[in-house]
């Protein structure tokens, strides 16, 4: 997806820090509303007080919404330094990219796109009907962020039975269930469906966030629903989620990411200068970024708010 506007100017949230008595950090944050093309999303990450969770640096939740075909397509746009993880709860998107990839993604399937030094993709919306989608970004580490771009699709993912629920592992591991998806740092994501109490195994080296996408639930005792995020600091060997009815949440986690992250529009970098250069190359269509075939027109933005300043 394509971010709209600079982050800092509109990055607002309310935080509460009423964590448990043992001192492990817990934050409850409100997502903010953002527009991705015509789709209104709840942007859970980044937030001013919580830029990353592990290497996860962006988390959008859109829908559920009823839509005519094509209503929510996103035209070709560039990315650098990040991996997109597209997870559709209902509906479908058609991914096209500058590597020549063309891949429909449906519920239960995962599209994973690695930007590296640069990639361009479009996300077409081919079918009328309900749409409910999550897109996450992972910040690539120094070892891979300037490397080649790549795309992979996984038609089936491991599931872990949790008693009163089930988890689908998108990236990384949960208990003994491991996703085949590429990762360059220690991180995980899972889609957890529950009706009752579930206890997720957790790596104490990881920090986590829980983002409800359907229904109401309690996370570590905090009551939340779609539009909020619960951040849980490192030091936990399990995460407790509880609901009185059917509920569903995306759980992300990872070893705290220790590299600086600078984000603007669709770029993840280390410095503003890197972003200015990427955006110059995109705006000039100078060969670093190749526009893939798409029924949609390419997107433009900017310049960055600091461009021209030293």
Of 164 and 296, CB closest to Mn ion:
296
Q: Tally Cβ neighbours within 10 Å of residue 126.
A: 13
Give the contacts of 159 (CB within 8 A, at least 6 positions apart): 166, 167, 168, 169, 177
Separation CA 17–CA 107 (nearest Å): 35
In the bound complex, what is the minimum distance in angstroms from residue 7's beta carbon to Mn ion?
15
How many Å separate Cα 185 from the centre of its chain?
A: 15
In the bound complex, what is the minimum distance in angstroms from residue 82's beta carbon to Mn ion?
9
Binding segment for Mn ion (CB under 5 A), chosen from 1-9, 148-156, 229-237, 287-295, is 1-9
Of 1 and 85, CB closest to Mn ion:
1
Cβ(90)–Cβ(107) below 8 Å: yes
Of 58 and 231, CB closest to Mn ion:
58
Query: 240 has which bridge partners?
Result: 199
In the bound complex, what is the minimum distance in angstroms from residue 64's beta carbon to Mn ion?
21
Cβ(207)–Cβ(234) below 8 Å: yes
Of 120 and 209, CB closest to Mn ion:
120
Of 2 and 189, CB closest to Mn ion:
2
**Which residues from 211-240 bind Mn ion, rule CB under 5 A?**
none
In the bound complex, what is the minimum distance in angstroms from residue 137's beta carbon to Mn ion?
8
How many residues sit in the footprint of Mn ion (CB under 5 A)?
Answer: 1
Q: Residue with CB nearest Mn ion?
A: 1
Cβ(157)–Cβ(110) below 8 Å: yes
Positions in the binding site for Mn ion (CB under 5 A): 1
């Amino acid at each position: 997806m394509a971010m709209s506007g600079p982050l800092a100017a509109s990055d607002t949230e309310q935080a509460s820090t009423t964590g448990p008595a043992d001192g492990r950090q817990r934050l409850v944050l409100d997502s903010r509303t953002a527009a991705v093309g015509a789709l209104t999303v709840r942007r859970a990450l980044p937030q001013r007080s919580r830029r990353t969770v592990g290497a996860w640096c962006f988390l959008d939740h859109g829908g559920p919404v009823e839509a005519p075909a094509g209503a929510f397509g996103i035209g070709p746009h560039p990315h650098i330094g990040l991996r997109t993880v597209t997870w559709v709860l209902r509906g479908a998107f058609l991914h096209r990219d500058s590597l020549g990839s063309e891949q429909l993604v449906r519920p239960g399937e995962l599209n994973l796109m690695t930007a590296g030094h640069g990639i361009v993709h479009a996300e077409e919306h081919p079918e009328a009907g309900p749409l409910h989608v999550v897109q996450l970004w992972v910040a690539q580490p120094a070892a891979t962020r300037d490397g080649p771009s790549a795309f992979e699709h996984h038609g089936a993912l491991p599931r872990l039975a949790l008693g009163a629920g089930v988890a689908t592992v998108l990236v990384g591991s949960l208990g003994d269930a491991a996703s085949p998806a590429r990762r360059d740092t220690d991180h995980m994501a899972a889609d957890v469906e529950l009706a009752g109490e579930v206890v997720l195994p957790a790596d104490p080296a990881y920090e986590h966030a829980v983002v409800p996408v359907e229904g109401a639930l309690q996370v570590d005792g905090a009551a939340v629903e779609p539009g909020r995020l619960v951040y849980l600091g490192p030091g936990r060997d399990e995460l407790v989620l509880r609901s009185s009815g059917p509920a569903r949440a995306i759980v992300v986690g990872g070893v705290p990411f220790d590299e600086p992250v600078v984000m603007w529009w669709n770029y993840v970098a280390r410095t503003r200068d890197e972003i200015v250069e990427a955006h110059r190359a995109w705006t000039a269509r100078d060969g670093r970024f190749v526009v893939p075939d798409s029924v949609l027109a390419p997107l433009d933005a900017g310049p960055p708010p600091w461009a021209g300043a030293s």
